[in-house]
Structure 1
Amino acid sequence: MRILIYGAGVIGSIFAGKLAASGEDVTVLARGKRLEELRQNGIVLTLPGVNKNEIIPVKVIDHLTSDDLYDYVIVVMQRTQVDSVLPILSQNRSENIVFIVNTAAGYDKWAQAVGSERLMLGFPSAGGERVGGKVVYFIGKRLMRVFQTTTFGEYNGKKTERVNWLIKTFRRAGIPSVFCDDMDAWQKTHVAMVTSIGNALYQFECDNYRLAQSYDNVCFMIRGIKEGFSVLRKLGIKTKPKKLWYMKLPVWMISWIFKLLMGTKLAETVFAKHCIIAKPEMLCLQAEFDSLIAQSHLQTPAIDRLRKNILSQKNNRNI
């Protein structure tokens, strides 16, 4: 199978590197400085605290034409970038296009651009940061899977052979992956969580360790998440995956769990550093979730207070 990773940021680099290392035929679409880095050095991955690099050669292109055919085109980019590539993807004739993009706005626009029969969805449990030309990375395994596992699904919710192949291929590459029959609900649930977490971090200039020292602010963050889940329930949207059952526990109990989590290197990599580089995307996600709040007609005092943190960042021109 020929796989194109459309986007060479942190997640795209992790996916491309691991899939290529497992023997898949992988091409990466990149531009600018990143394009030259990949051409000269390949994908360079390293685990945090480990003085050993994984160097994986990959094929690289800088644009996609209508006649460039791949078995899977995996689009890995921030929400604010995806609209600009829809015309390109609409002209390309590859049969399977997988959007690994954070959104709470649904997929109708993407389905109109590429065709509902080609559209697949996913979301990663992976992250890290680019340091020079290499990616210091993690992949969601073991305990991390309590919070999130790399997940794939179909636009129509069915479990098909092509989604099964994708899941098995990612697993062979060392990326635990599962199926979801309602990716829209899954992603709306995810956005309900990450907007409150991100907005709590913005109060502390994205310093997760300082947030972890403030039990009261962690509690407020959990109240925001719970309000977000209430919005989804009011709209008839199930919270997914089911393993998030622990969010039904009392605020004080969940807060102690998240207080411990926020004081870790993992939280620094997964949440804090991402919030620093992805403020425009976080603003976009907040706006998308605000539309859901408006539709629900619910009062969300915790979300309203947390939202002020990212809006003050915008007004201070830190974005």
Structure 2
Amino acid sequence: MKILIYGAGVLGSYLAHALVRGDNNVTMLARGRRLDELRDDGNVLRHHLQLRTTVDKVNVISELQPEDVYDLIFVVMKYPDFRAVLPALAANHSRHVVIVGNNASPHEMQDYLQANSPVQKKIAFAFIAGGGWKETGRVVSVHGPKGQMTIGGLGEELDWRAVIDQTFTGAKFKVTFYNDMEEWLKSHFMLILPLNSIAAAYDGDLRKAVRDSRLLNQVIDAIDEGHQVLEKLGYTVTPELQKDLPRKKRLLLYMGLKLMLKVPVVKNLLSDKAISQNEVSALQQAFNDLKQKAGIPTPNWDKLASYSSTSS
């Protein structure tokens, strides 16, 4: 399959690695120093947990032209950056697009692409489990033994799923399909924003944070408040286990947080090396809009949000 990875950050680089090893013809779109690194040295990936480094040669471009047609385009970037690339995506004649990452406005993106493209576009939304950070000359990727992608449409099954299945044939990736990725994505940032505030509360010192039982309980309460906002607006918290954790399995979640914060790599994954402040701010604004529509108080969420705004 002829694949374009639009975005050469942490997750885009890891996805490119997996798809190259799955025998796809992979092109990466990058700019600046990352463009030079990919052209000169290839896609250098340090697999943090596996203690190994891989190098994959990929095709590299800096701009997407309308006539550059791919079997599938993965757009992998941070939520605030999606809007800037939509015009180039819409003008391009490729028919299959997967937008990957945190996303508070998938319907608006889908509507724009379908309304402004010269060809009929099939669009899906996805999220890759994992994280990492950039270093000079390479990307450090934190992931399990096999990649994991959650993917789907907006309230309907993908009638072009065969294209996705073929792309991942041979790649070490587990792909899970959901019919309504808007619910999944909104549920996801109801989880990650409170978690991100843990580091901000103590200016990145997780050794102090892990001993603050009041803070950890506040995080759990904030996650539940986020779920309540979604439910008030008619969304289903997805997956269901996420809703059950703060309500029915609170002790399990509390102990899980304490264990997670003691893992050394988590400090990097909760820092601005892995999660940019502009993405946190954009997702927080999206939450504020949802909260206003729902009309319910979220005192714990509001307190945690103040930590992130203070540290920015």
TM-score of the superposition, structure 2-length normalised? Answer: 0.91
Deviations 1:36-87 (Å, cap 9, x if unpaired)?
A: 1000111111222655321100000010010000011110111111111111
Q: Secondary structure at the match of 2:291?
A: helix
- Classify 1:50/1:176 alpha carbon distance in 2 versus 1 (closer, same or farther; 3 Å): closer
Q: Please tell me whether the aligned partners of residues 75 and 99 of structure 1 are also in contact (alpha carbons under 8 angstroms).
A: yes
Q: Please tell me whether the aligned partners of residues 154 and 163 of structure 1 are also in contact (alpha carbons under 8 angstroms).
A: no
Deviations 1:207-265 (Å, cap 9, x if unpaired)?
A: 43432232221111111101001111111100112342333325444212211112213
Q: In the aligned structure 1, how far is the partner of 2:177 from the partner of 2:166?
A: 10
Q: In the aligned structure 1, how far is the partner of 2:144 from the partner of 2:197?
A: 23
Deviation at 1:168, TM superposition (A): 5.9
Alignment pair present for 1:206 and 2:194: no
> Which has the higher mean CA deviation after the structures are superposed, 29-38 or 46-55?
46-55
Q: In the aligned structure 1, how far is the partner of 2:181 from the partner of 2:273?
A: 22
- Classify 1:34/1:304 alpha carbon distance in 2 versus 1 (closer, same or farther; 3 Å): same
CA RMSD of aligned residues (A): 2.2
Query: Which residue number corresponds to residue 310 of structure 2?
Result: 312
Alignment pair present for 1:125 and 2:129: yes
Deviation at 1:164, TM superposition (A): 4.6
Q: In the aligned structure 2, how far is the partner of 1:43 from the partner of 1:100?
A: 19
Runs of 4+ residues deviating >6 angstroms: none
Q: Please tell me whether the aligned partners of residues 128 and 136 of structure 1 are also in contact (alpha carbons under 8 angstroms).
A: yes
Tell me the amino acid that sits aligned with residue 14 of structure 2: I
Query: Which residue number corresponds to residue 71 of structure 2?
Result: 71
Q: In the aligned structure 1, how far is the partner of 2:113 from the partner of 2:40?
A: 34
- Classify 1:15/1:209 alpha carbon distance in 2 versus 1 (closer, same or farther; 3 Å): farther
- Classify 1:50/1:151 alpha carbon distance in 2 versus 1 (closer, same or farther; 3 Å): closer
- Classify 1:55/1:250 alpha carbon distance in 2 versus 1 (closer, same or farther; 3 Å): closer
Query: Which residue number corresponds to residue 317 of structure 1?
Result: none
Deviation at 1:171, TM superposition (A): 6.5
Query: Which residue number corresponds to residue 107 of structure 2?
Result: 107
Deviation at 1:93, TM superposition (A): 0.9
Q: Secondary structure at the match of 2:269?
A: helix
Q: Please tell me whether the aligned partners of residues 140 and 176 of structure 1 are also in contact (alpha carbons under 8 angstroms).
A: no
Q: Secondary structure at the match of 1:27?
A: strand
Tell me the matched-pair count: 307
Query: Which residue number corresponds to residue 225 of structure 1?
Result: 223
Within 5 Å, which residues of 2 pair with 1:217-256? Answer: 217-244=215-242, 245-256=244-255
Mind listing any 5+ residue stretches in structure 2 that lack a counterpart? none
Q: Secondary structure at the match of 2:52?
A: coil
Q: In the aligned structure 1, how far is the partner of 2:175 from the partner of 2:205?
A: 30
- Classify 1:112/1:175 alpha carbon distance in 2 versus 1 (closer, same or farther; 3 Å): same
Q: In the aligned structure 2, how far is the partner of 1:246 from the partner of 1:141?
A: 25
> Which has the higher mean CA deviation after the structures are superposed, 133-142 or 297-306?
133-142
Mind listing any 5+ residue stretches in structure 1 that lack a counterpart? 315-319
Query: Which residue number corresponds to residue 10 of structure 1?
Result: 10
Deviation at 1:90, TM superposition (A): 1.0
Within 5 Å, which residues of 2 pair with 1:85-104? Answer: 85-104=85-104
Q: Please tell me whether the aligned partners of residues 6 and 12 of structure 2 are also in contact (alpha carbons under 8 angstroms).
A: yes
Q: Please tell me whether the aligned partners of residues 2 and 71 of structure 2 are also in contact (alpha carbons under 8 angstroms).
A: yes
Tell me the amino acid that sits aligned with residue 17 of structure 2: G
Deviation at 1:297, TM superposition (A): 0.7
Query: Which residue number corresponds to residue 58 of structure 1?
Result: 58
Q: Please tell me whether the aligned partners of residues 76 and 100 of structure 1 are also in contact (alpha carbons under 8 angstroms).
A: yes
Query: Which residue number corresponds to residue 149 of structure 2?
Result: 150
Alignment pair present for 1:135 and 2:134: no
Deviation at 1:107, TM superposition (A): 2.1
Deviation at 1:266, TM superposition (A): 4.6
Q: Please tell me whether the aligned partners of residues 7 and 29 of structure 2 are also in contact (alpha carbons under 8 angstroms).
A: yes
- Classify 1:156/1:232 alpha carbon distance in 2 versus 1 (closer, same or farther; 3 Å): closer
Q: Please tell me whether the aligned partners of residues 152 and 163 of structure 1 are also in contact (alpha carbons under 8 angstroms).
A: no
Tell me the amino acid that sits aligned with residue 57 of structure 1: K
> Which has the higher mean CA deviation after the structures are superposed, 168-177 or 299-308?
168-177
Q: Please tell me whether the aligned partners of residues 97 and 121 of structure 2 are also in contact (alpha carbons under 8 angstroms).
A: no
